[in-house]
Amino acid sequence: MAKRVSVVLNQSVSKLGNNGDLVDVAPGFARNYLIPQGLASLATKGIVKQIEFRREKERKQKLAEKQAAENKKVAFKTIGKLTIRKQVGEQKAIFGSVTSQEIADVIKQQAGIEVDRRGIEVPDISSTGDYQAEVKLHPEVSATVDFQVIPL
């Protein structure tokens, strides 16, 4: 079997790896394609150390983001019910619907927590009453928000 060469990818390469990955490839592939095209560079001890340092830094950052999301989840449990005012017609039916943007705005106004509207799952709301929405704070952390829809 031929000797393999370790290279660090400078860009994502299809079927090989992503930017910053350390991969073993055939020497000819590295020498004739990856390195001349600027897609990779030879893996030296210094570069490998840099990659490990960068990965550790990214892991710590992701852990901090998850912890911040957990803190927001605890804050959602303590704020209680949020109130959304909508125009109401007959039999407590609301005009229009409650959108995720409205819920995000109410959370920011009443609780002071910034939430991305794309991470909010809103149930189908057609009348006044009490509802729950699920807010995705992090890929691994989600919280439920209780809110009530009342007439203007």
Condensed to tens digits (0 to 9), the pLDDT of residues 13-65 reads: 889 988 888 899 999 999 999 999 999 999 899 988 988 898 899 899 999 99
Q: How far apart are CA 104 and CA 122, in angstroms?
A: 11
Tokens representing 127?
Answer: 């009348």
Predicted confidence (pLDDT) at residue 2 exceeds the cutoff of 70: no
Predicted confidence (pLDDT) at residue 125 exceeds the cutoff of 90: no
CATH of domain 5-60: 3.40.5.10
Tokens representing 142?
Answer: 């989600």
How many Cα atoms within 13 Å fall on the side-chain side of residue 23?
22
Tokens representing 119?
Answer: 């991470």
Any idea where the domains of the chain sit in the sequence? 5-60, 64-151
Pick the CATH number of 64-151 from 3.40.50.720, 3.40.50.1100, 3.40.50.2300, 3.10.430.100: 3.10.430.100
